[in-house]
Chain A
Amino acid sequence: MEATIEVIGLRKRFGSALALDGMSFTVQPGQVTGFVGPNGAGKSTTMRVILGLDAPDEGHARIGGRPYASLPHPMRYLGSLLDAGALQPSRSARGHLLWLAYSQGLTAQRADEVLEQAGLTDVARRRAGGFSLGMRQRLGVAAAMLADPMILMLDEPFNGLDPEGIVWMKGFLRSLARQGRAVLVSSHLMSELEDTADHLVVVGRGKVVADTSVAALLAAAAGGRVTLRTTAVREAATVLDLAGATIAANSNGALTISGLPAERVVMLLSQAGVPFSEVSAHRVTLEQAYLDLTRDAVEFRAEPASEVAP
């Protein structure tokens, strides 16, 4: 079976709110796919539909071509972590993994293995209710990896992690992709996916806004612009204007040049004897590119970005 997730034309309405409005995308193996969008964009609802937990009004989701609910022992195909807090507080970490292991026809030995791998062996017999959010995230990841699936799907896995944990999580996700697994990671903070995601599915208001590789997105957002730092602003502007470029002053004292590649800017300025301290291809952060994309799609602009997705 192919390690893919296909989401095809999902529509779902909760009362008067349209949660999904024709959501479609595909998650490919061998890469980390970031699933980004503001809160309320439909990320968690899409993931619940993928897992067969919520029924869409229209459309469907397929795991390697099959509905999730039709898979025997589905956690062997797709491991997921929707909510790290979804634990019975009085049950131990080991108890939690044990019932999950048995539900997939696995042994207790496999539960102990993932406990070890998640670094939870020392607290394995403690009540999960007493775990910190970071420990719960690790327990959740251990549960997702329990049946060694080829597809991983994690909803906001960076939530509540300390900086060290974030670094660990990023490395972990990268290693899964290198092993050829398909990884879908949702986040409402693009910065979390910087250096992690290979591919992005950007969503807003229940549909896909952009479905692109990270490299292509950054190039498109940069738009071939050049940043110029110079003390002779007027002379530089005259020279470049003559060559057909558009010049704009930039907030931090630099100029942004559009319409000319960086090499040509350097050549023109050098020939005209205009001094400059820096000419560089304009760089946008992934965050900036994302904000540009979703500006129109943000539904609740006033809400702080740190809010937990529904």
Chain B
Amino acid sequence: MSTRVMAPGRPDLRPGRVSFAHALRAEWIKFRTVRGWVIAMFVAVLFTVFLGVFAAGNVSIGCQSGPNGPVLTGKACTPHFPIGPDGEAVTDSYYFARQTLTGNGSMTVRVSSLTSLRGQGKGQAPGQNPLAGMAKGEVPWAKAGLILTDSTRPGSAYAAIMVTGGHGVRMQYNYTHDAAGLPGRVTARSPRWLRLTRSGDVITGYDSVDGTHWTQVSSARLVSLPHTVQAGMFATSPIYTTVSSGFLGSTGRSGPSQSTAVFDDVSLRGNWPDKAWTGTSVGNGAASPGTGYGYYHASRTAVTVSGSGDIAPVSAGSSAPGPVSVFEQPLSGLFAGMIAIVVVAAMFFTVEYRRGLIRTTLTASPRRGQVLVAKAAVASAVAFVAGLAASILAIAFGLPRQRNQGTYVLPISMLTEVRVIVGTAAMVAVAAVMAVAIGAILRRSAAAVTTAIVVIVLPFLLAATVLQAGAGTWLLRLTPAAGFAIEQSIPNYPQVDSVVSAAQGTYPLSPWAGLGVLCAWAAAALALAYVLLRRRDA
């Protein structure tokens, strides 16, 4: 080999930022020059897309149009939900004793009773008593109270103050907003006074135990509320669910319910031109989760209203009538792709120890922190791209397939769609950072790969299969698998009875909090890796 003679003492004493850029570029070359790793990334994308689109999404949906109608399958069976003012799918079915209110005004009532019946199924034969076979029981989210809405069309803007079966007094508006008032159950001995006032766009709810001392529960601004609205008393009662959880999962019973409330001392202020109540069954269609039955009865002293259904957002874990799915459903195969990515990320570090290449690396870039960060950055960038490709492809192929099969995909905003797709890619990227750090800490491929899978992916699989309740929920709060929450597009509404379970795509933490838990784990692993990498002889 011949060599060129260089003048000694070349001035190359530039600061560390340049050397980090070079270390970064070197690590990228290292990644892309190992064909197996590049192939593994494509395999990760294929796994995710295949599992999410074809393996998990294969359902066959059938339905009958009416009692004697033909049996339909697929798209014809897609249920349709009203869309609330904020763009989300809602259930909006209740029994409404209403009058027209023009301009500002208020309603005040005393609720002295709320009782519920629970049934086994829906669809009694025509002519049969709709409440036959139902038995008294508790329905925590049975609702009855005062409501003010711009129309009786399902999905309308509204604000309501109500008593509930098990959650005390609530003020709710526009389906997703909920505030708590007085706690406790309504009985004849402890009635609740409720008041709802309108002043322009602002609706305010109050409650009281005696009709004299009032407390404001909450207030709502309903933008562009018309001058004339419908207001009055309502009752509704959702599908009830009882879940008993054991070690290997949970078993549940559910069915429609019917709730009846007695209102007395009704007093109205403002301009109420109708002078009498009109009974309307709102949203009593196919999308109603109720019995379809309701009535009101006005005596001289009291008004009784009975209804079934719900006024609430539809969420993935709740009991919805008909096949409902969520935007992120096709990402159900992500765990498989993530295993491949996490394995490659861990090995990205450990293979250097296998044959002493780490010494060459640290000879080229003696700032060990830079090497660690450069490796983590390259692995996470590659994982991000793979995660993004997998999410986009899975959703692009998976959603149309689900829709063709007759599933209703709950609508979400464009911003939420972006958050789910980009967030999923970010989650995979952060998991890759953690795997790189684990590789640097453990230095042996087998140990690092096993640990990375056990710590990052296994908790999710356990929570989604054998440990759904209790322990599984804690896994999804505390372990790096909490990051999967970033996929959840429809929030867990506290005012809707729903199951929090990875199998349902619902997580105990909010999307960003879940991603934050994963980030905290990755940061801790990276910090430990940094300390060890600097302290240990290479």
Contacts and interface: CB of A to CB of B under 8 A. Distances in A.
Interface of A: 1-3, 29, 48, 51-55, 64, 68-76, 80, 82-83, 85-92, 95-96, 98-100, 102-105, 114, 117-119, 141-143, 145, 148, 150, 172, 175-176, 179-180
Contact of A53 (B18, B23, B362): B362
Contacts of B362: 51-53
A150 B4 CA distance: 10
A179 B5 CA distance: 6
B373 to A, nearest CB: 14
Contacts of B13: 72
A55 B537 contact: yes
Contacts of B27: 99
Nearest to A67: B366
Contacts of B537: 48, 53-55
B356 A72 contact: no
Contacts of A86: 355-357, 359-360
Size range of the chain B interface in the assembly: 35 or more
A90 B351 CA distance: 11
B359 A2 contact: no
B12 to A, nearest CB: 6
A180 B8 contact: yes
B368 to A, nearest CB: 9
Given A72-B18, A73-B19, A85-B356, A99 B30 contact: yes
Nearest to B11: A1
A139 B25 CA distance: 21
A19 to B, nearest CB: 11
Name which of B5, B8, B27, B351 has the most chain A CB atoms within 10 A of its CB: B8
B26 interface: yes
Interface string B1-42: 111111011101111101100110111011001111000000
A104 B22 contact: yes
Contact of B22 (A95, A103, A143): A103
Given A72-B19, A86-B356, A102 B36 contact: no
B56 interface: no
Nearest to A98: B29
Contact of B26 (A72, A102, A148): A102
B35 to A, nearest CB: 7
B209 interface: no
A83 B359 contact: yes
Contacts of A74: 363-364, 366
A51 B18 CA distance: 20
Given A103-B23, A148-B6, A117 B1 contact: yes
B15 A72 contact: yes
Contacts of B447: none
Contacts of A64: 9
22 contacts: A48-B359, A53-B363, A53-B537, A69-B367, A73-B19, A88-B34, A88-B355, A91-B34, A95-B33, A98-B33, A99-B30, A102-B25, A103-B23, A103-B25, A103-B26, A103-B364, A105-B18, A117-B2, A143-B360, A172-B1, A180-B5, A180-B8
Given A53-B362, A72-B14, A103-B23, A87 B357 contact: yes
A84 to B, nearest CB: 10
Given A2-B9, A175-B2, 4 more contacts: A29-B8, A72-B12, A76-B12, A83-B356
Contacts of B243: none
B451 interface: no
B73 interface: no
Contacts of B495: none
A143 B13 CA distance: 21
Nearest to B537: A54
Contact of A75 (B1, B9, B352, B364): B364
Nearest to B37: A90
Contacts of A3: 8
Contact of B355 (A87, A104, A105, A150): A87
Q: Identify the 10 closest CB pairs spanning chains A and B, nearest first.
A: A95-B33, A103-B26, A69-B366, A99-B29, A86-B356, A103-B364, A54-B537, A53-B538, A117-B1, A99-B26
Nearest to B27: A99
B365 interface: yes
A245 B537 CA distance: 56
Contact of A145 (B3, B22, B34): B3
A119 B2 CA distance: 11
Nearest to B36: A90
- Interface hub of B12, B356, B367 (most chain A Cβ within 10 A): B12
A103 B322 CA distance: 59
